[in-house]
Amino acid sequence: MTGIQRKDDDEGARFDLMAAPGHLLRRNHQRSYEIFNRLVGPDITRQQIALLIALSRAPGASQNELVHLTGFDKSTLKEMLGRLVAKGWVDRERDPDDFRAWKMHITSVGKDVLEQRIANVRAVQQEIIAPLPADLRPVFLRCLRILIGLESPNAEPESEHVGVLPENELADQSNSSF
């Protein structure tokens, strides 16, 4: 015995954490964070990489468009953009059609940061799903997209999302934080 006594008459004691999606997602989130830090480094976050990828795929995107592309909430995105502008990785300019709005662009420095790390970002994605059998990887990714509302469970799987980060593109994923 480990010294921990289980009470079967206690509702909390009957709750199985290993069958709780929220708990399992949190543990996998921690695992992905650790893999990212080991392979990409602690000096850039998964969210910053996701934002740089989104800007490389959608130059001149507005903050609202970036919210949609990344899945970040507006206040988080605004703070993150401020930090990336301060680092010189992102530039912003007033939208000539709507003076209240900004258009965002990845700078050459930001492109260099992304290019220096993108191979490791791909390696992170591969390592995250490596324990899964190859035939379950696309199913797992599809289930994740269904859970966040990017795909309908009744629709045919989108072929553009079958692989993980193809070599010929910076990223094949939106609405994700690496």
Report DSSP state, residue 130. Answer: T
Q: Is the dihedral of CA 25, 30, 33, 35 positive or negative?
A: negative
| pLDDT at residue number 14 | 87
> Does the residue 6 lie in any domain?
no
What residues in the chain have per-residue pLDDT under 70?
Answer: 1-9, 158-178
**What's residue 163's pLDDT?**
43
Q: Which pTM does this prediction carry?
A: 0.81
The total of structural domains in the chain comes to 1
What is the SS3 assignment for 12? helix
* Spatial separation of the C-alpha atoms in residues 106 and 63, rounded to whole Å: 13
Q: What's the pLDDT tens digit per position in 119-160?
A: 999 999 999 999 999 999 999 999 999 999 999 999 887 655
Domain extent for 50: 20-161
CATH of residue 55: 1.10.10.10
* Residue 161 pLDDT: 56
